[in-house]
Structure 1
């Protein structure tokens, strides 16, 4: 009998197992694939390896493929070591809640047969998959999905990739934006086919505008309000046809990437055998990540909302703390997110638009990297930091960055927003010189002008 069964070995599942095991709970993780989930094996880490190789890691394009594989293996080995050091067990196989309906009994199909695992608590962390786009020809060779595209030799491995000159991307979210930047840096012609007129729906209005300008400068083509109808093979290429407001639209490209939204995985592990509340948006949980069934938890992408590896890890902390009789709750408004575009984008808290939707009177200010000494020294001055604060009491509500090292800069902002600090207090925190963080300080002081 285990104290905790974790179904899924992604960032949230492995973090929960580590924390629970270190706290003295007998824990087992059931995973049929590599540990680390989508983030490590097909998402965040592989794309950042390519990004670093193309931007500044001093890796030749010819070595990008092996560079990515090496990083993924090293981190995967690290997770396995962490599990072993914490005392958590790993069972390789496909886990499924028993047909009896008891969610704390899991049957696992392994290479050696079926194993039966029982626990006092169950944590579901199966992750998410790409939302299938339904149009004729969506399954043609050369049409790729976002969660597997990082392992496509034709895009990233030399000499195969040299035969691919153009890529069409359907989507407008993080996956579409990051792949567009990577592929453009590799010299491909890139066209983004968007369902609306926006990039990055969640981003602040000024960030979206700046990103669109940057894409235009990079010669990435943007097509608005595109609705795909069919894809065919024409002269060895993919021809994607559809409609835009002006009429019919077609694009001929060597590869077509379907960078659609991710949706929670709700099948394949016996959810239908239980009374766990869920919808197509994900499994319903409370602030402790507990479902409607006591002792049954869910976290990460399967709960819907923001699908972020770092959020899943903190959800793991919340769940394990609750199992141990302690409290830790996450405020979703205070979760930072980032996009490795060109320039980088990062944000935390409310955008100006979201604050207005909530009826909050705000004041905003910007500081540009063009006036920052370190940005000038780095020859990377494109972008700005925008801050959003309450007009009433000066509480810092949101910080939005587009520019050099945005993803690294957002940490300070997350601390300030998360602790509901006053903008004036953060501004008066001494920031070292010369650093990019001074741009944050400058934006905060401009709120007082």
Structure 2
């Protein structure tokens, strides 16, 4: 302990106030535990301040503008003027409202809030260093700790985020002017979401991806409508290439894309220097190749907490680390790095500490990509089900057969349900199309409750709605869909 430190004590120390940490703190407070929540930057973490919420705000705003500009078929003719600074200001207002709400909720649940950076001294003590000159530090003794420090963007060699034209996803959500051209390195969910945002703002966007397609991990039939929509927006792709360096030959910068394992150049609005190596002249570069856990700032070794070689803190089904009274939740505990997964883990950790019979269950955990169109999945795919020993039956319903989808002008995509043929239990689902992020909730509930195809199909859905497509997909699996041909 540093001489002069003030020492306090708490039942539960929560490190990090993102969706995993603040949920853990609030739930622990509800369970009458003495809770201290430490946050070094802003309540709400990356999700509320620099990720989920601001990105969806800009996605919505650019969708409004793009929708108005491309609605001639509906008899609407418009040429919206986009004020990016005004759009960003509105987005910031949404963020401020939510983050202030988190702080108020914590205080209302008797959570003590500390601003600063926490590091472990030993397995029952942490030091909290306060930001600002002369602020000093204090020591905090705890019975239990919950690590919820989240994740950060992965940097790649020669593309430092400190260099002005190179930006990460956080910086991309705070630009004060629309770049004329942009290279996005990485075609995962972050890269594809932001590529669409800037394409709708009028930026010439090229995506460089080391693999041979967008959105790794998603089935081709789900990716196909997203790739087609991206093409329609003018987004160009350079697959099987990596961004190796950049330099400044003139006012713009030049990004060099090298082939992976000798792959030939394909696609992209680029000047081919030879048959494989490409050079792209752009105004800015967004690096979006993934995220890594923030675990290297905690002095975990002092508490005896172990990580794997990627820095992920390993946990069990009760969110415990290898040290029984120290828990890890959210992105720092590994994939899937989803805010709602982190919140569920945070609630579980708090309940375990309070002696409740809680455990983590990923069976009905949805994953959503807010691309255009959206993708949402839950549970098992048909291939997963077969590999797990099930005899799956699949039902599908296209949005082009949905009256409500047609009335929105957005009828690309489908709903697909996977069930066990013998008893009809729903095993999984995938949706690509309008409001996929909302529609998936019904199928998550079906899996959580052990519902069957008959349960879903016999539930009356309001007409005309997009949710009827879920009912029709279940009916299709049963062989008696009304508004699409049955298998």
Stretch of structure 1 that moved more, 336-345 or 133-142: 133-142
Matches of 1:60 and 1:105, distance apart in 2: 55
Q: Once the two structures are superposed, what CA deviation does each residue of 1:126-177 show, in whole Å capped at 9, x if it has no partner? A: 11111121146775420112243212x2xxx3xx32xx21111111211011
How many residues were matched structurally?
438
| Greater gyration radius | 2
**Residue 75 of structure 1 pairs with residue 98 of structure 2:** yes
The 5-angstrom pairing of residues 268-347 of structure 1 reads 268-281=297-310, 282-347=312-377
In structure 1, the partner of 2:35 is: 27
* 2:123 maps to which of 82, 87, 103: 103
Q: Secondary structure at the match of 1:412?
A: helix
In structure 2, the partner of 1:4 is: 12
Matches of 1:129 and 1:358, distance apart in 2: 34
Stretch of structure 1 that moved more, 293-302 or 238-247: 238-247
In structure 2, the partner of 1:18 is: 26
Matches of 2:447 and 2:219, distance apart in 1: 16
Matches of 2:170 and 2:351, distance apart in 1: 31
Deviation at 1:236? Answer: 1.6
Deviation at 1:43? Answer: 0.4
Q: Secondary structure at the match of 1:283?
A: coil
In structure 1, the partner of 2:82 is: 61
Q: Secondary structure at the match of 1:367?
A: strand
* 1:91 maps to which of 114, 118, 125: 114
**Residue 129 of structure 1 pairs with residue 152 of structure 2:** yes
Matches of 1:137 and 1:109, distance apart in 2: 27
* 1:263 maps to which of 282, 289, 292: 292
Structure 1: any 5+ residue segments left out of the alignment? none
* 1:47 maps to which of 49, 55, 62: 55
Matches of 2:94 and 2:345, distance apart in 1: 25
The 5-angstrom pairing of residues 40-439 of structure 1 reads 40-56=48-64, 61-62=82-83, 63-98=86-121, 102-110=122-130, 111=132, 112-135=135-158, 140-151=163-174, 153=175, 157=176, 160-161=177-178, 164-244=179-259, 245-246=263-264, 247-281=276-310, 282-439=312-469
Q: Is the 8 A contact 2:187 2:214 kept in 1?
A: yes
Matches of 1:250 and 1:137, distance apart in 2: 19
Q: Is the 8 A contact 2:319 2:360 kept in 1?
A: no
Matches of 2:231 and 2:59, distance apart in 1: 20
The change in CA–CA distance for 1:139 and 1:34 in structure 2 (over 3 A counts) is: closer
Matches of 1:259 and 1:358, distance apart in 2: 33
Q: Once the two structures are superposed, what CA deviation does each residue of 1:405-435 show, in whole Å capped at 9, x if it has no partner? A: 1111111111012233212221111111111
Q: Once the two structures are superposed, what CA deviation does each residue of 1:2-27 show, in whole Å capped at 9, x if it has no partner? A: 11000111111101110111111010
Q: Once the two structures are superposed, what CA deviation does each residue of 1:373-406 show, in whole Å capped at 9, x if it has no partner? A: 2112222212211112223432211111111111
TM-score normalised to the size of structure 2?
Answer: 0.86
Deviation at 1:209? Answer: 2.2
Matches of 2:422 and 2:148, distance apart in 1: 41
Q: Is the 8 A contact 2:395 2:478 kept in 1?
A: no
Q: Is the 8 A contact 2:183 2:285 kept in 1?
A: yes
Structure 2: any 5+ residue segments left out of the alignment? 1-8, 69-79, 265-275, 480-487
Q: Secondary structure at the match of 2:336?
A: coil
Q: Is the 8 A contact 2:327 2:349 kept in 1?
A: yes
Q: Is the 8 A contact 1:137 1:232 kept in 2?
A: no
TM-score normalised to the size of structure 1?
Answer: 0.93
Deviation at 1:224? Answer: 1.1
Matches of 1:91 and 1:138, distance apart in 2: 29
Stretch of structure 1 that moved more, 56-65 or 296-305: 56-65
Q: Is the 8 A contact 2:378 2:444 kept in 1?
A: yes
Deviation at 1:124? Answer: 0.5
Matches of 1:138 and 1:226, distance apart in 2: 20
Q: Is the 8 A contact 1:53 1:60 kept in 2?
A: no
